[in-house]
Structure 1
Amino acid sequence: MSQSFSAFVVDKKADQHTVEIKQLELGNLPKEDVLIKVLYSSVNYKDALACTPDGKIVTAYPFIPGIDLAGVVVSSKDHRFKSGDQVIATGFEIGVTTFGGFSGYASLPGDWIVPLPSQMTLEESMIFGTAGFTAALAIAKLEQNGLTPEKGKVLVTGATGGVGTTAVAMLSRLGYDVIASTGKSSQADYLNQLGATAVLPRTAIYDGKIKALDKTQFAAAIDPVGGNQLASLLSKINYGGSVAVCGLTGGSKVPTTVFPFILRGINLLGIDSVYCPMPLRKTLWNRMATELKDSQKLAMIKKEIPFQALPEVLPKLLEGNSVGRIVVKMV
């Protein structure tokens, strides 16, 4: 089958680095078991890094970024999928070592593909994307470690980002008292509309000083920030509480002490959405389609752009001014 399509291609030769929309053929794609017509993708921080010369995401060029995609199966050698099936693919090696979602078509292993839940649209799946899936996984891990709405306030840091906004909306829908932390004070009303009962400046969590133990304030936290802020918020978690850490926008080093762990029994939970096992992945996507989904709030989180706008939008994501989720309409 010969068919041309548009793809967002990153290339690097010697000192020359280019990002452009190009016309490719199906033969340019890897020969995996399932061919998908991509209808939606989304923009993530990792995608923006993949488009920079020194982003340390792409290892072989030319390359098609895009760690999220949703679309319709065109053909399949995998018995689990047939032509016409609506599917989602996030994580694994998509958009990192395997051509990703910023493309008219994607060729992927069946083991990386999730059937679209019946109560979710393809567009909704990409409003969630990796960010929403990460938030859902963090909530599930916190619940496994004893979190319930009755336990107290749940803090979400980096609350205007993709993980943050989806986490606030999900936790609110489940009945939690959600406290949002952000460096964007102008977005307080927006976060309140998503379900936050209070919005704190990031300085309320980390003011430049890290205490071994501080006054307890939160039953749990979802933290995509890391760094000094994570070290500081650990000292503010209630006895037996947990922090789900899922990012490092504030840095990769966490200068904490053992005291929150050995004197208050705090749990530090690592959240890896990339290689999450498929059974749990499917369970979470089905939960995201039902009890974790608020369609009105999803619409608030979403900003939709056409595929052709990617070259302009991606660099801006690295400036840290993005709010919510950017969905890419491929056709």
Structure 2
Amino acid sequence: MALAAAASGSGTVARPLVDRGVDLYLRRLRTLLTIPIQVKACRHVSPDGTVSEDFAISDIPDAARGYWAMVHVPPPYDQLYRRLYLIPIDELRRRCLRLNSHGVQSLRFIADFAGTVEDIWSPFAVDIEHVSDWLAAIPGWAGPVRSIPAAGKLDAVSTSDDLGTVGMASLTTLWATAELERAANGGIMVAEDRIRLDTVTLLTHHLGTGRFAGLHLRTAIFNDTRRTHFEVKRPHFFVDPNLWVSLVLLRPDLRVHDFGLLMPSGDIPELGYSETLTLDPLTRRFRKYRIASAEFGSTYLSNAFHITVQSSLADRQADLPMAG
């Protein structure tokens, strides 16, 4: 909450759905500029304000990037102390004492929360009232946000969001998350904003490269007419080479249809922000974006991160030995 407040409307905080070493992601709104943050908290400090904490080296993988935050939450209150530490991960590894703690290779962090002495961590100490200054110093954070692209064609009039799918967005998000996790096999982290403020439904973080990509999910139910409506809300939309838009089609029984659409965000202005589609046959200008729903996870990861992953369909069709 302190980070979101410090961003003053310029940033949003996402929480990963599976913990793989990052506790939260701070992202500049309407961009994919993202800061991974791992948070450690201590309840007690010494009488002079010193904290000494050991943590396993394995808790911070070699590929980890971003920042490590140490905060103090003095009892009996659930409120942050005014001073906190925001330390780049590489500096944390370099400056911490390495030791064997109870048979575990560990790093020892010793710092002065009272701020009465200068130590190796003083350059990374931030007063909670000045977190906004820390954010502003991050390269690219304070830069202008690109304007919303103009539509290549006149939008159709629409008075609804995801026509006919009220309450279905969460179902689609759960499905997409499961497909991404299945395809990546532990190689990514999928995060969702605590409060949605722009077009990014899911933020994906490739752990091997540290790269980020965004996914904007749209949901549409079709009926016997084999027609449906597709709409992207322009006020929240932005274009980025690593932002993708997916239309997930649901059958009347709410099962995911056998195909959907996966489109680069840069193509949306020309395609139109509000369109009615026919599915059989699929509207011509959308045909090149058609993907098998069973291949959604692997196709997205290949497009977003340029990596080859095992086919989700092949994984499902593999013969597994019976137990016993």
Q: Whose strand proportion is higher, 1 or 2?
A: 2
Per the shorter chain, which TM-score range?
under 0.3
Query: Under a length normalisation based on structure 2, what TM-score does the superposition of the two structures give?
Result: 0.22
* Higher RCO structure (Cα 8 Å, ≥6 apart): 1
Query: Under a length normalisation based on structure 1, what TM-score does the superposition of the two structures give?
Result: 0.22
Choose 1 or 2 for highest CA Rg.
2
